[in-house]
Amino acid sequence: NAGVTQTPKFQVLKTGQSMTLQCAQDMNHEYMSWYRQDPGMGLRLIHYSVGAGITDQGEVPNGYNVSRSTTEDFPLRLLSAAPSQTSVYFCASNPLAQPYNEQFFGPGTRLTVL
């Protein structure tokens, strides 16, 4: 199993550009989520999904869109990048069978918006 994979690893954008961060998992997990981590800070939940076709907002959803067309993939779209979105983005997944499962994190995407 590859676990949770994210692409790209690094990305530089100009203000106003859009892009999609990719996340995929091969563990057949129902739950997937996106976090952002700013320097020296904890993780903040952006959006999450409890299964294909179902998504919901987390703590800091503004400026981001998600969709979940398959169990495996959960892309995060930045609609119009802003310098405040400079951060490291982590995707995570876990099974929903129990309400208390460890989350498996991807390696992260380091995004810089100029």
Partner 1 sequence: QQPVQSPQAVILREGEDAVINCSSSKALYSVHWYRQKHGEAPVFLMILLKGGEQKGHEKISASFNEKKQQSSLYLTASQLSYSGTYFCGTARGDAGNMLTFGGGTRLMVKP
66 class by beta-carbon count within 10 Å (0-12 exposed, 13-18 middle, 19+ buried)? buried
d(CA 56, CA 111): 23
Nearer to partner 1, 17 or 58 (CB): 58
Rule CB under 8 A: say whether 71 interacts with partner 1.
Answer: no
Compute the distance between CA of residue 103 and CA of residue 85 in angstroms, rounded to an integer. 23
> 4-43 mask for partner 1 (x: CB under 8 A)?
---------------------------x-x-x----xxxx
Q: Tell me which of 45, 52, 72, 86 binds partner 1, using CB under 8 A.
A: 45
